[in-house]
Structure 1
Amino acid sequence: MKPGAERVVDILHEAGVEVVFGIPSIHNIRLYEALRKRPSIRHILCRQEAGAAHMADGYARAAGRPGVVVTSTGPGAGYTVPALLEALGSLSPVVMITTNIKSSKIGKGIGTLHELDRQDRIFQGITKETFVARSPEDVVPKTRQALRAALSGRPGPVYLELPTDLLDRQVPGGEHGPDTDSLFAPPGDASELARAVDLLNSSSRPVLLVGTGAVRAGMAREVKALAEELAAPVITTVPAKGILPEDHPLAFGNAARRGAVRRMIQSADVVLALGTRLREVDTKRRGITLPRLIHVDWDEQWIGRNFPPHVALTGDIVALARSLLG
């Protein structure tokens, strides 16, 4: 048995977390004491919670690993909302660890310092998933689940809430280390994959449209290989700029461009959309049409929202891209 705060820091260490951003407070001080005893994890002291969450977001994008931010209860947690919304839109794996008042006082409305009724509900629409501990037995599994959820499938920010008393109380352990066996969704349907391959092989004017998901998955090599094998121009959403070097002969800039780039998309006989949600803001409102669309994405959440696909492939987008290469 160990105090909850030490269990949380142990799990961060097991998961390879090297940097944590945040602000100490009376509510999370036990967590900071546990961090002090773990020199392998560097803490960046921030001036304000919004800035801390933005820094965690930037770190997650640059490092390709979870960006962890620690905040306090109530107002401290609330300051992170704009940053988490940005992380959600940009598929950034931010892990927000925040405290709440003593578990026995939650929901009582007795005016405890920084008490906020149903604090976790603020974050349900702006994070990928919320994890709330209410007993010592919750601390270890909820922490591991939060880290796993941030990276599994389509990446995104998650919210982990730990009442202050659970950081002090003795907490049982669990299975060693975060489960990484199923971080990614299984590859798509084999028959649909075969249809996509046939479409690409019979195409004379294919175009690749690449989005943020491909960037987060580190798919520069796969994008380049697909483009060169298909002799397909590569067009990106704005956040995916640079996934194919700008001086590559098949790099044609972002999808918001008009003129020749717009005509190229409209005259394509197949468009392979890779790791993009095809959001209205990126594509449809700009007058883009996508003939014979092959939409490859992490899951079905955005499939068919703005453009009906000719073929939809969902699952591990890296594995799917490699399967398309044959």
Structure 2
Amino acid sequence: LIKDKNKNIVGEYTTDSDGYIELENDLEEGKYYAEEIQAAPGYIRDTQERTFRVKRGETTEIVWENTAQYGQIQVIKKSKDYNSINGLPAGTLLQGATFEIYDKAQNVVDTVVSNERGLAISKLLPLGRYTIKETKAPKYYGVSGETFEAEIEFASQIVRLEVLDESVYTNVVIGKSGPKQVTPGMQMKWTISRVANNSSIRLTSFYWRDNLPYQAVQLDKIVTGTYNTRIPYKVVYKTNFNQTPRTLADNLDPSVNRVLQATPTALGLKSGEAVTQIMFIFGTVPSGFRMVDNAYIYGTVRKSASGSSFVNKADVGGLNDSQQWIMSNDAWTTTIYRAPTYKKPTLPTTGW
């Protein structure tokens, strides 16, 4: 509202989409008063009256700053059902769930985590409509796949939402077997079996890995095995000279059983360099993912192999929705047999 020096109303004006009011020809030279009678939606009205002067040939500018009206979003996190792992009943308030809050432009305006009372409390937010997504669930629970909406309609309003998470079962498995006894120079074979995601949820970054006793055995080749889900995968390896994974094969069809040559010559290894680890990388696998045909790892026992035995270790794992590793492992011990050295006996001297 604009008034002249005698407080007579000159006119009522509204800011445009850029926040401006421009009065080029409406005001004559002199003293005026300006008063905000209604703030923009979501902001608090400034009640202070301002004084300004209009001078011929000059531009007079008044900057008016409004404080936004704020409210808050509170998410209550509860267990949807009985959890057989931690024993918590349905309705239990859960700590450790993470939520992201987005404005109408889908910008993240806050990230909140539920406390020991199951409450995830946002900072003060301007009036408006928001969407909320759970990005991390508490341990032994799955992330809710729903997108929730909340609208803060007036100052100091607290909008409360209740989000329920279902309990999850997580389990992965791998089997490892091989010969019980070998001799130096002998070719041997290990079997990788039962690789599976037995969890009730999908797992990300899923892999199985074999750590080779490279000082006792040289890797020769790998038979990949087959898998029940059409997820292309790759095989990488590390060596005693280089711990950075190098790709042996990529974009492999899980339904095809392939033989991958992995001798030092086939891999172009340096003198004295040996493969210490191989890893099958699948990415995201669904619940029920499993191996169909076993995988095999072939190697040659080094003639210089020392000691009475060596251990071959394999493990499998993946990340759940809470970014926790679900892992399992197995191992196989093989004994090195060395034939006793025969020493010709000294016979007594007889005859003439």
**TM-score scaled to structure 2, two decimals?**
0.28
More helix by share: 1
**TM-score scaled to structure 1, two decimals?**
0.29
More strand by share: 2
Larger radius of gyration: 2
